[in-house]
Each structure stands twice: as structure tokens, then as C-alpha cells.
Structure 1
Amino acid sequence: MEFHGQPHAEGKLFLCGLVLLALSFGYFRFNGEAEKSLVVIGLFAVGAILLYLLERTRRDSGFSENTARQRQVTLATKIKELEDSKTETLKIIHDLQLAKARLEEEKSKDEAMLASLGEALVVTDKAGKIRLVNQVFEQLLEWKLSEITGKHVLDIIPIQDEKGGMISLQKAFNLVLETGKKISVDADGSYYYVKKNKARFPVAITVTPIMLGKQIVGAVQVFRDVTREKEMDTAKTEFVSLASHQLRTPLSTVNWYTEMLLDGDAGKILKEQKQYLNEIYHANQRMVELVNAFLNVSRVEFGTFSVDPEPINIVEITQSVVAEMKPQILQKQLKIREDYENNIPLVPADPKLVRIIVQNLLTNSVKYTPNSGQIEVGVSLNRDSLVYHNKQPKRYIRITVKDNGYGIPEEEQGKIFSKMYRANNAKVKDAEGTGLGLYLVKAVLDRVGGMIWFESPGENQGTSFYVTIPVEGMQKKQGTRKLE
């Protein structure tokens, strides 16, 4: 038997046993009493050592059993902890699988919703780069998501006006991403999207910011093809134009005969009769104004109106319109403030069109401002263009009409330039409006290179309208009729 290092208790017992055996053999081998005495002493000594080692071995054996038992208990505890950890881990994995399944289900629902939308949708990040489009987008523009992901939305979707001129809405989209305000372009056929194959179609557009808390992280643009709507609108316009032309003659006849009766050309009339005739006359005048408005709209939409620019002073035209409105202003006891810059140059523009623009804005302001309210009218020269066409003028004239009147409800502001549309609060204040004035103003400005926009904090908080006319003026346009 070989031992390495210090022998264990068992090894020591074995050695003592060998010594004891040797001493016992020597006791019988020696004959002398002295030798035998020494052997007996050795036997007693070795026996004592053996007894000590046996006791030590017994105690060590007991200690080892306790240690082993403790280790078994510890091991069992660790095994139980591992089993518990395994159970918890499996539970977490199960919960994660359920959460993943729910997320996939929600994702499938979102994808199904996007696929079922009847309008095209494109999602961009804050830099304007495309992150997601739906199937309608791919069908209308013939682009696949894989082809355009990461590209700027304005690079993928060129925008044109009715004449095919390129239009940039970069500043408008930046406004959405910077201020968080929604912008809308109505279905009036003024904007056209260009497909991948270079074909184009008229669109109505709405761009809404994506908010994460208070931070703007991107935008969602929804648009639709309004070709069918434009065709129907054209048909309606043709009908209205025809009907309006047919109505002009009888209305003029009614107006002429009513004036003759009021002037006494057919004999003296009683006071009560005069009152009735006045009602007929004013009602007929409203009909004439409505017919003229319809005719103006049809001429603009068909492009049959003429533009005859000449050097004009926009300040003088504005002052003239204010003077014409003085009776209505005084009747409602409105305070009007006029602010005209001195450096306004003469502009080659059609004076009739400029007058129509200012008349519509000021008439609305007077009509929808309560008694004793305030109106501000101004003309200024600005050097930073807000007209986003290819040939941007470096300067433009800005006409401003502000009031502290009834305002425009926030939820209706996107429709304010739509044809025949009137805000609900406007209908309550004046039941006789046509809803054509602002539409006509915008339609004219779109076709002569100008622009119109407004600001209104909300209902009963006033409105500010702004019109820009390029300093370089309007281009001459041949037409069969002038606007009235």
C-alpha cells in the first residue's frame, strides 16, 4: 500500500498493527527476561496507540458522516432552488411567448387595417424619410416599399399644378414637423401627384404629425385620387354655369321693373306697397350676386376668365374697398385700423381681380365681427417669398385683413377654402352666405401665382387672413369673360 503525503488514520492503524504483530513475534522469540520485558512494554505502548487511533478513527468517521449529511442537505437545497428557477424561467418564457403572440396579432391587425384603408398612406420619420406605406399607396404611385424605404417623400412624389408646373411643399411639410400642426389640401384639383411612370392624378392631401409624448417623431400623410370628384365637380360647374346664364336675363328684368315701380314710373305707390317692393328688390339683388358668384367660379374653373394686368397701386385699391364698406362698418360701429407701407411699388396686375380679392376678405371680416369689434387692414412689402413655385419671386406684396370676430372653429379650418363650405358658427351669424367667396379668392390666386392662408386660434378668437401677390405681377391671360 502506498501513501502520498501524511497517512490517514486507517493507514496509521495498519502500521501499528504490523508493529504489534512484530512485537508479539519477538516476545516468543526472545528468551531473556529483559528482552521480553521490553517487548511487553512495547506491546502496551503500541496497544495504547492503537486504542487512540481507533477512537480517533471513530470520531473522524462520525464527523465525515455529519459533513456528508450537511452536504447532502445543502445539495438538496441547491437542487430545489434550481428547480424553482427553472420553473420561473419556463413561466417567463411562456409569458414572453404569449406577449409575442399578442404583438404579432396586433401587428397583423394593424397591417390588415392599413391594407383595408381606402386612401393612400405614407409614414415618414422626422427627416421626411419614408418608413412605411400601404397597398393603396403602391397601387396609386406604382412604387414598392422596398424601392423607396429611406428616401425623402418629396423626392418620390413630385407635385404639379394644373398647368404641369412643379410645386414644392417642402416648407409646408417642415411646418408640420416643426410646429406639430396638421395641414390639408382640399380636393379642388389644384395639386397633382406624379406616378413612377410619369402619369399624374389630382389629389386631396392631409399631413398629420406623429407625437411621442410632447416630441414630434415623424408624420403621416394620407391622400386620395380625386379624379372622379373632379369630373363630377366639372359636370356640376357646367350645369351651374348654364343655369346661371339662363337666370341672368329674368333676374335683370325683375330688377329693372322693380326699380321702375319704386321710382314711381308706373304711378304713385302706397307705403306698404313700397315696403313689399323693397323686399322683392333686395331678394332679387341677392339672387343676382349669387348668379354672378357662380359664373365667376365656373369661369375660373374652366379657365375662361381673362387676366389683363396693368400697373396698379394695391394700396389705393384697398383704400377704395374700405371706403365702399364704410356704411356697413359704421352701422356695426366697428373700429377699423389701416396700415399701409410707403414703399409699395406699382405692380402689373388685373385691378378687377385684386378688388374682388380684397372685397371678399373685408366683407367677411365686417360680416363676422360683432358690433363694436375691431378690424385691421394692411398692405406691406416682404422680401422672403411664400409662393412655392419653380420661379419664385424674390419679393411680394402682402395684404392683411385681421379682426377680433367669431373666428373659425379649429375642427373646420381644413375645409374653409372648399367650394360652398361655410363654418357652422358662420351659418348661425349669417344665413345668407354662399360659401363661394374664399373658394373664389383662392382659385384666382392659385392661377395668378399668389397665395392665401389664415390664422385663427379658434371660435370667438378672431381671424387673420393673408394674401400674397408677387411684385413681378400677374401674367396676361386671354379669356372669353372677365370676372364680375
Structure 2
Amino acid sequence: MRLKTKLSIGIGFLFIAILISGILGIYSIHQLKKDARLILENNYETLVYSNNMLALMDRVPFDSAVLRMFETNLAKQEANITEPGEGAATGAVRDLFEQLRHDPDNDSLQSIIRRKIYQINTANQEAILRKNLQAESNAQRFSNFTMFIFGFLALIAFTLAVNFPGIISEPVKSLSDGIKAIVNKDYSKRIRISQHDEFGELAQAFNSMAEKLDEYEHSNLAKIKFEKRRIDTIINQMNDGIIGLDENRKLLFLNKVAEKLLGLREVEIMGQYAPDIALHNDLMRSLLKTESTNKELKIFADQKESYFHLDILHVSSNDKVIGQVIVLRNITPFHELNEAKTNFIATISHELKTPIASIKMSAQLLTDERIGDVNKEQEELVKSIADDANRLLKITSELLNISQVETGHIQLKIEPVYPDIIIDNAANTVSALAQQKNITIRIHQHTNGQQILTDPEKTAWVLTNFLTNAVKYSPEEGEIELTTNVKEDNVEFVVTDHGRGIEERYLSRIFDRYFKVPGTPEKVGTGLGLSISREFIEAQGGKIWVDSKLGEGSTFGFSLPLYKVV
């Protein structure tokens, strides 16, 4: 029998039991109600009418008002005749009452009427007693029948309650034990369930699975060992240091490079708790304390300082972390190349500044009328030479700045400075460029005469860079707003333009080195200005940001700490 059929039978029986019990209860209550209603409506009301008439017979004088009340109760009694002999007695009372109307003082008539009313009372009292006995008999019969049915249904329900849970729980427990065994890699476990239902089929499927897993475990064990040896060989041949930990942070493996960096041998520390090793090893302690990945470390190895890129890889299975792999990639050659590149850029930039300045001066002298007149074409050529010289001079200045940033030798002269000085310096520098496009620079200062701690030259350079970019990307006859505000313990410098704006997807990279927003003309900038600006501001303990919407303009800003007099 299928499990679904068993459940249907059990639940169906309980439903039928509840239905039968409900129907019997409702029927019993209905019968008892019917018996009580017959007594109350038929006999009790007759007694009330009869007693009312007897009470009226005792009233003196026997006037018209008493006759009307007697007539009313007699009429009600005539409409409620239910027992044998009650009709004849009621009819006799009617005849005698009609005679009494004409002779109210006839005592013999009144006596006869009383006897007839007593006959009506007696008949109804006997009927009440008889019907009460019948009602008690019916109630006892219904009670016995209900108790029999209830006992029968309760016995079956008790049998189901005792046996039915076992039909479900015992196979589930057997399956649970089997699954736990499989989790613990005990593939010899088998489940014995004799039921011919879904649980039986599930047990057969489980046994087949365990058998297949057992076969797979034994057939692939040698292959797995071979693959492990091959992976160990590959790991040991790598030039990167690799350290493997399990979920309990115990050491699983250590390749040759990692052995050399740690100064430890794998066979000596295999299976040990990594934090215990870290107690006596500085590098291991540093690696375990580092939570973030993509970090650069400087390690003394092979009698020299080397640079390594740290990656911490989490090994997961079914969304559960089962270990870690720590990778130390040797980036010393790249570091050396980068340093050589930085030195080369600094040297070339420094060497280029002098000839570029000389070219700029020569171009300026060519435009001097004292040397001689130049025609229109020559004037345009000289202007082009001067523009290119200015552009080259700006590029070399930015390259020199970036070389300072890369070498970490940013030279700062921090001092208390009024923001007005920096604003005036930057605004004066870009005023000529703004006038060429008829752009208005509106300045809103709200610093209340407070000073900031900054390098005025480098901060003015950053603000000039913001204003220059705003002028370049603003439409002619546009407007740029430069606002300063005091916020908490910082002064904010905010430059807002109403140019074409920047797409949101590029905002996160806007301060990256050499990055240009796609679609920007090639001659506009080098992609270094904003990167240098960020380095200059962050080196002074400030923050820099950008906010922009395509088609609405851009807002660039930075903040620097206030100067507080101690």
C-alpha cells in the first residue's frame, strides 16, 4: 500500500469519526429539544389556561370583565387540545360557560365547570408525566448508542495513534541514520525497510547510492592519491609561496618557496595549529592577522628585501568554508621595473623642463615687435608653438608630481592658511582661460575667516585643476560656481559646472591614474591631473569626491581640516 493511501485512510477515518459524532450529537439534541417542546407547548400551556380559569371562578362578583377573561383563556385552551378526553372536557366547559353567561349566580354551574377544568388539568398532568418518562427513555437510549459509537471510534483512533506514527517515524529514523553514515564516509551502511511504499522505494534508492559510492571510493582511491602527488609536485615547482590551512586553521601543506620565506620545514609543522606556529614566527603571525586580500608585503628573503602580493583564498564546499589557501606572489621584479620607470620619468621630465621653457621663451620673443614684424601665417605658427610648449610644460610638471607620488616623497609644507588665499590664487590662474569662453566664475565663501592646515601651493594646484577642467567642459558664456563651507572640523571646496557631465559608470574610476572618460578629445589632459589631486589631498589628511549626472554637469570637491589654536 502506498504511503499516500495510508495517510488518506487514516485522515479519512478521523474525518468520518468526527462527522458521525457530530451527526449523532446534533440528532440527540434535536430529539430532546422536540420532547421538551411538546411538554412545554402542549401540556404546560394548557395547565396555565386551566389554572387561570379556576382563579377567575373564585372571583366575586362574577361580572362581565371576569367573563371576558374567562372567555379568552377558554378560547386558547380550545386551540391547544392535545390529549385524549381533553376535547370532551373542554367542550363541556364551553357549554356550561355559555349557560353561566345567562345565569352568573348559579353556583351549581360553577361547581360543574370547576370539575371539568380539573379533568383537563388531570389529563395534562398525566401527559406531562408520561412524556417526561418517554423523554428520559429516549435520552438514555441516545446516550447508550452514542457511548457505543464513541467507544468504537475511540478504539480505532487509539489504534491508529499508537501504530500510525511508527509507519512514518521508523523509516525516517532509519534513513536519517543512513545519511549520517554516508556523511561520515561509511559507505557500507544499508537500510532495511519492509514497507512496500515510498519509504521502501527510498530505502532501495539509498542502498543503491551507498553501493555506488562504495564502489567509487575504492576504485578511485589510487587515482586520487596519484592526483594528489601530482598537485603537490606542481605546487612545489611554483615560484609563489603557497600555504594551505583547513577549516580549523591547521597546516595542510607548505611548498618550497613558502618554506624558504617562513624559515620552516613542512614535515616539522604539518598538522599543527597555525596560531601556535605564529607565536614563534613573525611572518606567519603577520599573515594570520591580515584579513584583507590584495595586499603588498615587504619580506626579507634571500639576503635582500623582496616584495610579495598577498592573496587569501577561501575554499568552500556547499557554501561552507572548509579551508584557506594563502598565496604570496613574488612581485619584486615588477617593483624594480616600476621604480626604474619612476626614476626615468622623473629624470626625463626634469631634463625636458629647461628646453621646453627655452622654446616657450623663444616663441614669446618672436612675437615681440622690436625683433621684427611677422605676417599672419607666421603669427599663427608661433602661437601654435607656444600652445604646444605650454602643454608639454604642463605634462612634464604632472609627470614630476606623479613621480613624487609613486616614490612616496611628496614634499608638503603644512601651515595655517586662509582659504581666500587659495581661492584667489586658483581663480586668477584660470581667469584668462575662462574669459576666452566668456565663462563666469561665481565664488561663494562661507568660511567665516577660519584657517585650514594645508600646503597652500599643492592645494591651490588641486583647486586650479578643478577649475580648469570645469572651464574646458562648460559651454561658452556658461557659469561655474566655487563654494566653500565649514562642515564639522573641515573646510569643503566645491566646484560645480553645468557642462555635459559624466556617466555614472565612470565615476568610480575618475581619480585613477591615466584614466580618461571615453569620448574626451585626445588633446584634453593627460589623465594624471585628478589622480595627482587625490594624492595631494589625501596626503594632507583630507578627502576628495565627485558627483555628476550626464547632461546636467559635474561637482568636484575636497575637504581639509580646520586649524585649531591650542
Q: TM-score, normalised by structure 1?
A: 0.51
- 1:95-153 per-residue CA deviation (whole Å, 9 max, x = no partner) reads 9889999xx9xxx9xx99xx89999999xxxxxxx99999899789969995369x9xx
- The CA distance in 1 between the partners of 2:555 and 2:451, in whole Å, is 25
Is 1:366 the counterpart of 2:471? The answer is: yes
2:274 corresponding residue in structure 1 = 147
The correspondence of residues 160-199 of structure 1 with structure 2, limited to 5 A, is none
Q: Confirm or deny: 8 A CA contact 1:450 1:469 kept in the other structure.
A: yes
1:234 corresponding residue in structure 2 = 339
1:90 corresponding residue in structure 2 = 207
Q: Confirm or deny: 8 A CA contact 2:548 2:555 kept in the other structure.
A: no
Q: Which amino acid aligns with 1:422?
A: F
Is 1:413 the counterpart of 2:508? The answer is: yes
Is 1:469 the counterpart of 2:564? The answer is: no
- The CA distance in 1 between the partners of 2:452 and 2:311, in whole Å, is 34
- The CA distance in 2 between the partners of 1:353 and 1:345, in whole Å, is 19
Q: Confirm or deny: 8 A CA contact 2:250 2:273 kept in the other structure.
A: no
1:83 Cα offset (Å) = 6.7
Q: Confirm or deny: 8 A CA contact 1:368 1:406 kept in the other structure.
A: no
| 2:515 aligned residue (416, 422, 425) | 422
- Name the SS of the counterpart of 2:518 in structure 1: helix
- The CA distance in 2 between the partners of 1:362 and 1:291, in whole Å, is 20
- Name the SS of the counterpart of 1:325 in structure 2: helix
- Name the SS of the counterpart of 1:422 in structure 2: coil
The number of aligned residues is 350
1:379 Cα offset (Å) = 2.7
Q: TM-score, normalised by structure 2?
A: 0.45
1:277 Cα offset (Å) = 1.3
Q: Confirm or deny: 8 A CA contact 1:379 1:398 kept in the other structure.
A: yes
Higher RCO, 1 vs 2 (CA within 8 Å, ≥6 residues apart):
1
Unmatched tracts of structure 1, length 5 or more? 1-77, 123-129, 159-168, 174-182, 186-190, 209-219, 384-394, 474-484
Q: Confirm or deny: 8 A CA contact 2:459 2:537 kept in the other structure.
A: no
- The CA distance in 2 between the partners of 1:321 and 1:184, in whole Å, is 38
Q: Confirm or deny: 8 A CA contact 1:409 1:458 kept in the other structure.
A: no
Unmatched tracts of structure 2, length 5 or more? 1-193, 244-248, 279-283, 314-324
2:23 corresponding residue in structure 1 = none
Q: Confirm or deny: 8 A CA contact 2:251 2:274 kept in the other structure.
A: no
| 1:249 aligned residue (340, 354, 357) | 354
- The CA distance in 2 between the partners of 1:135 and 1:344, in whole Å, is 62
Q: Which amino acid aligns with 2:367?
A: L
**Distance of aligned partners of 1:97 and 1:261 in 2 relative to their CA distance in 1, 3 Å threshold:** farther
1:302 Cα offset (Å) = 4.8
**Distance of aligned partners of 1:248 and 1:414 in 2 relative to their CA distance in 1, 3 Å threshold:** closer
Q: Confirm or deny: 8 A CA contact 1:337 1:375 kept in the other structure.
A: yes
1:454 corresponding residue in structure 2 = 545
Q: Confirm or deny: 8 A CA contact 1:407 1:463 kept in the other structure.
A: no
1:263 corresponding residue in structure 2 = 368
- The CA distance in 2 between the partners of 1:99 and 1:459, in whole Å, is 60
- Name the SS of the counterpart of 1:308 in structure 2: coil
Is 1:437 the counterpart of 2:437? The answer is: no
Is 1:297 the counterpart of 2:402? The answer is: yes
1:438 Cα offset (Å) = 2.3
Structure (1/2) with the larger helix percentage = 2
- Name the SS of the counterpart of 1:429 in structure 2: coil
1:470 Cα offset (Å) = 3.1
Q: Which amino acid aligns with 2:454?
A: A
**Distance of aligned partners of 1:133 and 1:382 in 2 relative to their CA distance in 1, 3 Å threshold:** farther
- The CA distance in 1 between the partners of 2:423 and 2:505, in whole Å, is 28
1:466 Cα offset (Å) = 3.7
| 2:494 aligned residue (384, 387, 400) | 400
Structure 1 stretch displaced more, 371-380 or 246-255: 371-380
1:35 corresponding residue in structure 2 = none
Q: Confirm or deny: 8 A CA contact 2:450 2:563 kept in the other structure.
A: no
**Distance of aligned partners of 1:88 and 1:250 in 2 relative to their CA distance in 1, 3 Å threshold:** closer
Is 1:272 the counterpart of 2:377? The answer is: yes
1:355 Cα offset (Å) = 1.0
1:125 corresponding residue in structure 2 = none
Q: Confirm or deny: 8 A CA contact 1:310 1:349 kept in the other structure.
A: yes
- The CA distance in 2 between the partners of 1:456 and 1:222, in whole Å, is 38
- The CA distance in 2 between the partners of 1:94 and 1:372, in whole Å, is 83
**Distance of aligned partners of 1:366 and 1:233 in 2 relative to their CA distance in 1, 3 Å threshold:** farther
1:270 Cα offset (Å) = 1.0
